[in-house]
Amino acid sequence: MKAPWLIWNSEATSQDDYASEADQKRFEGMTNGFVQARNANGTWAGMFCERICASDFLHISDPTDGFTEGDKWAYSFDIVHDIPGLIERRGGNTAFVRSLNEHYDGGWDWFGNEPSHHIPYLYALAGRPDLTQQRVREVVGANFNATPFGLSGNEDCGQMSAWYIFGALGFYPVNPVSKEYVFGSPFFDRLTLHLPIPAHSNPASDSKFYDAETHSYRLTVEAFGAPSTPYVRKSASMAKSARNLCQMGGD
């Protein structure tokens, strides 16, 4: 697969993204390789970053940045159809985790816009599920609350709320077309969803997961102690098909 590696600049770094020498030194060498726009003649175009500082944006820009509603940080992690390839391009699991840490600790995460929503779950795909669970909890605390300003970004057809629901359930579709989910950390001891059955489908009425009253299948997630125990060290699934769904997490 050539795309998106045709716009992957393995020599691009994050050093020019920081205005202060202290930050440049702090994050020196942590991240190598970013997506970057190309000019019509094939040469690399300029880069663009938005750093969130005290609710203000520090713009370090170029007229030929090539990004919309995001920057090189967000879109370099958006290669969801080839995460193993992305990890390899970043230098392997350890280097990839370092780049994720810089994304968050350097102030580059813009959670109010959807291109960044899957990023905390990438830790798990690089062998650090504990950091996925930690970052998901941090993101929830910073971006969701029970006030009129409880969503940090535009709802955009329900995506902000959908992200919270997946986070609360403890898994997320990093690559939606893969039919695979990446584990996170459930927020509650027990959650139950009722999955509607399409009108053209015949329900498996003999399944213990079929709810005749609501004409739906039940998806149940159990993670006792989840509100105070953010890490899931083991899990067991009773799911054999889309008609048989029950996920349980343990300590």
Q: What is the pLDDT of residues 1-24, one digit of tens each?
A: 556 688 999 999 888 788 888 998
Does residue 203 register a pLDDT over 80?
Answer: no
Q: What is the pLDDT of residues 129-185, one digit of tens each?
A: 999 999 999 999 999 988 888 888 888 888 999 999 999 999 999 999 998 999 898
Pair 231, 136: CB distance under 8 Å: no
Quickly state the pLDDT bin for 229 (edges 50, 70, 90): confident
Q: What is the pLDDT of residues 67-111, one digit of tens each?
A: 888 889 999 999 999 999 999 999 999 999 999 999 999 999 989
Q: What is the pLDDT of residues 22-78, one digit of tens each?
A: 998 999 989 999 998 888 888 888 755 655 554 455 555 454 467 888 889 999 999
Which residues, other chains included, contact 131 with Cβ-Cβ below 8 Å and sequence gap of 6+? 97, 100, 123, 124
Q: Tell which residue, 72, 69, 59, 54, has the closest CA to residue 9.
A: 72
How far apart CA 209 and CA 211 sit, in angstroms, is 6
Pairing of strands 234-237, 246-250: antiparallel
CA distances, 242 to each of 54, 124, 177, 231 (Å): 44, 24, 15, 26
